[in-house]
Amino acid sequence: METEKETKKPNGSGLKRLIRATSCSWLGLRAAWRHEQAFRQELLICLVMIPTGLLLGENGLAKALLVASILLLLIVELLNSAIEAVVDRIGTEHHPLSGRAKDLGSAAVFITLLLIAVVWLLVLFA
């Protein structure tokens, strides 16, 4: 028979888990703002581009595509920053796999920027 301690989830459950998860998310966003220049730059770009997308989109779908593509940039940048933090935590010596991990994260950001350009061009000019 399981005891109460064995069945408890480490992060709680229900509302308690949601509150803890939200707190961790805010800590992550604060860390990105404090430590990641690229995230700060992209967030400032988003603050301009999101209202622009809402104004320029002709319908709900167009607006959603324009805004979602911009928000995707922040998501990918956060993941890229997380990869870089883990690689840096492991060690400072150069290792080909560490370099590859960082390059792949950077490539993901680059592809996201290309996606934004394609979405905006197609939605606004096609």
Question: What's the confidence (pLDDT) of residue 24?
Answer: 95
Q: What is the mean pLDDT of each run of 10 residues along the chain (126 residues)?
A: 56 86 95 97 97 98 98 98 95 91 97 98 96
Question: What's the confidence (pLDDT) of residue 5?
Answer: 54
Query: What is 37-125's CATH topology?
Result: Helix Hairpins (1.10.287)
CA-only gyration radius of the chain, Å: 19
- Could you tell me the residue ranges of all domains in the chain? 37-125
The whole-angstrom separation of Cα 72 and Cα 112 is 7
* Token pair of 7 as six digits: 């069945």
Question: Out of 36, 42, 77, 84, which one is annotated catalytic?
Answer: 77
- 42 given a catalytic annotation: no
Q: For 35-71, what is each residue's pLDDT tens digit? A: 999 999 999 999 999 999 999 999 999 999 999 999 9
The C-alpha angle with vertex 68 and arms to 34 and 61, in degrees rounded to 5, equals 160
Question: What's the confidence (pLDDT) of residue 91?
Answer: 85
